[in-house]
Amino acid sequence: MRRLGLVEFVSVDGVMQGLAGHEEGFPYGGWGNEYPIVLPDGASVGPTSDTTAYLFGSRTYDHMVAFWPYQPDDNPMAAHLNSTQKYVVSTTREDAAWDPTTVIRDHVLDRVAALKTIGDGSIVVLGSGRLARSLLAAGLVDAVTLLVHPLLLGTGQRLFEDLPEMRRLRLDSYVASELGTLVLGYSLVP
């Protein structure tokens, strides 16, 4: 069975909204730009050979497709994102606009559960807060990687809101960037 993992950038108080820009009128948009992720030698957060698919919510996909297809392939993240199978959850999107991408229009939880049963490697959700919360609530998430930035925003959409039940996590890895961002890797405990 394929593993499904979340990779999320958050502030210490759990806010994920507006990481890279001022979308949605969020007053602190772009807060992540002050914290480039420079990790000690040998540590990484980028794609691994185990990542065989990406899953996005519609808004995150729009941000990704506006940037990554135009980056050179000598950027390892661009090369991996551009060549790896992607899935986008959208009820309004007619086409994907970023090959190879498949649009998931309905029965999202069932479709994701089915994706976990086929193929090798893992499926990674980048950002996509609403989708991440619904997958977590449905018990479809196996791992969570949090990049916790050293600031308190005090307002904004938080990653973990209103879960139907408590979930236990096991810390698998941790590393700190030069600017104090913690990269925390967790597995969900069944």
**31-83 residue pLDDT tens:** 888 877 665 555 555 556 789 999 999 999 998 999 999 999 898 889 999 99
Look at residue 87 and tell me whether its pLDDT is greater than 90: yes
What is the reported pLDDT for 137? Answer: 92
Look at residue 167 and tell me whether its pLDDT is greater than 70: yes
What is the reported pLDDT for 178? Answer: 84
The fraction of the chain above a pLDDT of 70, given in percent, is 92
The predicted model gives 135-164 an average pLDDT of 92
**CA distances (Å), 37 to each of 53, 74, 107, 156, in order?**
23, 18, 36, 22
Look at residue 104 and tell me whether its pLDDT is greater than 90: yes
Look at residue 24 and tell me whether its pLDDT is greater than 90: no
pTM: 0.91
User: Where do the domains of the chain lie, and which CATH numbers do they carry?
Assistant: 1-42+136-190 (3.40.430.10), 53-118 (no CATH)
Query: Which one-letter DSSP state was computed for residue 88?
Result: E
